[in-house]
Amino acid sequence: ETGVTQTPRHLVMGMTNKKSLKCEQHLGHNAMYWYKQSAKKPLELMFVYSLEERVENNSVPSRFSPECPNSSHLFLHLHTLQPEDSALYLCASSQTPILADTQYFGPGTRLTVL
């Protein structure tokens, strides 16, 4: 595997379900990110992790819970979501979270909340 991978690629869940999105990066990076891409809206940063520590939380509702067990893996745990949470969730990684480092993205998980 190369680059940034995400599983599952598609997920349909009810509002009472609990599910998790997984991201894995094979680039040896130390920073990882979750973004949300909704229809007709710009990509929004949700969380930033650097060396497994959360460094930014962009006012995201608590029904989204991130976890970064090591620098290669990032999870987004979902519970009691709303239909408006349906979106493409993109994971990214960069060498560090500093300004100059380029973020490389995974293919995303298309989430539908019924």
Q: How far apart are CA 40 and CA 49, in angstroms?
A: 27
Q: Between 75 and 105, whose beta carbon lies closer to another protein?
A: 105
**101-106 contacts at long range (C-beta below 8 A, 24 or more positions apart):** 101/31, 103/33, 104/3, 104/4, 104/25, 104/27, 104/29, 105/4, 105/35, 106/3, 106/4, 106/5, 106/6, 106/23, 106/25
Q: Between 28 and 42, whose beta carbon lies closer to another protein?
A: 42
Contact between 111 and another protein per CB under 8 A: no
Contact between 21 and another protein per CB under 8 A: no
Contact between 105 and another protein per CB under 8 A: yes
Give the contact letters, 44-83, x = binds to another protein (CB under 8 A), - = no.
-x--x-x----xx-x-------------------------
The token pair at 1 is 């595997």
Single out the residue of 21, 31, 76, 81 in contact with another protein (rule: CB under 8 A). Answer: 31
Asked if residues 48 and 74 have their Cβ atoms less than 8 Å apart, the reply is no
Binding region for another protein (CB under 8 A): 31, 33, 35, 40-43, 45, 48, 50, 55-56, 58, 88, 90, 92, 94, 97, 99-100, 102-108, 110
